[in-house]
Amino acid sequence: MTKEKAFVIGDIHGMYHSLEVMLSHWRRDEEQLILVGDYIDRGPNSDSVLKTVRTLQKEHNAILLRGNHEQLFLNYLLEPRKEWKLYKQNGGATTISQLLQIQIEDVEAQAPEEVVEKLLEKEPWLIDWLESLVYYTTFGNHIIVHAGVDFTKSDWRYTSLHDFLWIREGFHYEKNTTGRNIIFGHTPVQTLHESVEPWQRDGKWGIDGGNVYGGSLIALRIDREEVKDVVVLR
C-alpha cells in the first residue's frame, strides 16, 4: 500500500546510536522511510549502520539513496589501487577497519587489492548493493537527493550523476526552477547557516546536520505536498 507520508533522514556517517534513536521517531505504519545517503565513513560504527539500513531496505522497503561516500567506496572496491588515496582522504579507512574488525593501521599497512579481496570475501554483497543505490527519488511535490540538482539543465533530471552526489556551488544559492521542494544532505548545515537545524531557502531543505562532527542528525516528516515537521537530535 502506498503511503501518503514519509520520514526522511539526513547523513549518518557511521553514527549508529544516533540512527537508532532517530528510528524511534519514525512512524513505520504510516511513513515511507527515505535515507539521503552517506551511511558510512568517519564515524565509529559504519558496519552497524550498513547492517541496519540494509535490513530496513529488505524488511520495510526503505528507499536508500546513494551518497558520494557510497560512490567513493564503490570506486575503491572496483579499482582499489587507483582509488585508495582518495577514499582514505574521505574517511574510508574507518569503514574498512570496522567491516574487517581490524585496526586502521592494519588496513593502511596492506596492499589495497589485498584489503578489497578480504572485504569481498567477508561481505560478498557489497558491490551489487552499492551499485543498486538510487541517485534520487521523488515523493509527491518533493525531490530527495544526496547533494542537489543542476538548475542550468532544462529538466533537473538531466543533472549529471556526479552532481547528484557532489554539487554545492550552483545549487544552494541559485533560484529553484523545479517547482518542487528539494530535500538534500551532503553539505553540513553549519556551513550554510549558524545552526544545527535544517537549512531552508527557496524550497530547498538541507538536512545534513554534521552529526559526525558534533552537530545533529536531522529528519523531516513530509506529506506529498510539504514539510510537516522536523526532528533534530543533538
Which pLDDT does position 1 carry in this prediction? 74
Residues 88 and 36 reside in one and the same domain: no
Residues 20 and 96 reside in one and the same domain: no
Q: How confident is the model at residue 147 (pLDDT cuts 50, 70, 90)?
A: very high
Residues 49 and 152 reside in one and the same domain: yes
Amino acid at site 140: G
Residues 149 and 52 reside in one and the same domain: yes
- Residue 200's alpha-carbon distances to 8, 90, 196, 216, 227, in angstroms, are 15, 27, 12, 16, 11
162-210 pLDDT, tens digit each: 999 999 999 999 999 999 999 999 999 999 999 999 999 999 999 999 9
The answer to whether residue 215 scores a pLDDT higher than 90 is yes
Rounded distance between C-alpha atoms, residue 167 and residue 149, angstroms = 7
Residues 229 and 164 reside in one and the same domain: yes
Residues 228 and 190 reside in one and the same domain: yes
81-116 pLDDT, tens digit each: 999 999 999 999 999 999 999 999 999 999 999 999
Q: How confident is the model at residue 149 (pLDDT cuts 50, 70, 90)?
A: very high
23-42 pLDDT, tens digit each: 999 999 999 999 999 999 99
Of 130, 152, 168, which one is at a domain's C-terminal end? Answer: 130
Which pLDDT does position 128 carry in this prediction? 98
Which pLDDT does position 234 carry in this prediction? 95
Residues 9 and 103 reside in one and the same domain: no
- Residue 201's alpha-carbon distances to 7, 131, 145, 181, in angstroms, are 20, 32, 16, 10
Query: Average pLDDT of 221-230?
Result: 98
User: Domain residues for 9?
Assistant: 5-66+138-233
Q: For all residues of the chain together, what is the average pLDDT?
A: 98
